[in-house]
Amino acid sequence: MAMLEIKKFNEPVLRKKCKEVRKIDKKIKKLVVDMAQTMEKKIGIGLAAPQVGVLKRIIVVRTYLENRLILGLINPKILKKSPELEVDEEGCLSFPDIFLKIKRAKEVEVEGLDIDGKKIRLKTKGLVARVLQHEIDHLDGILFTKRLSFFQKLKFKLKHPSTKL
């Protein structure tokens, strides 16, 4: 098992936009597997490639908490978001021990490729929809702290002054 280093909140790689994967080769497949194993070891439910220092459009997400099924998605994109929003608590492996109330779409439809290059399209809601939105944000250099309201940002900055928003 290859344990990857998770980049922390102030590292510039987390704020950069990722490039699409053009070819799914052995290196990409290994990265997906290593990301899934790292996420499991760190007891996470989602991980994006920039969080391990790789600027590629790749995420891994635990889709079912009970049976621990992990989905690896290459070049994922959100096709539709429900107009209904909900606020819930989110954490991030790049922000250890920090949990924030974030507003997100209640349901999303996402499309991407699996490690064999097959197109996957899923419509989901609840926690999995939230995790997909969070991880796809990472691919665009958007951290969950950017989703805070003005007053939430002030409160966060007072509590964590060394953290770059």
Domains along the chain with CATH numbers: 12-81+108-143 (3.90.45.10)
Please write the tens of the pLDDT for every residue from 86-143.
999 999 999 999 999 999 999 999 999 999 999 999 999 999 999 999 999 999 999 9
CA-based radius of gyration for the chain = 15
pTM of full prediction above 0.85: yes
Q: Which two tokens stand for residue 31?
A: 């990265």
Active-site positions? 135
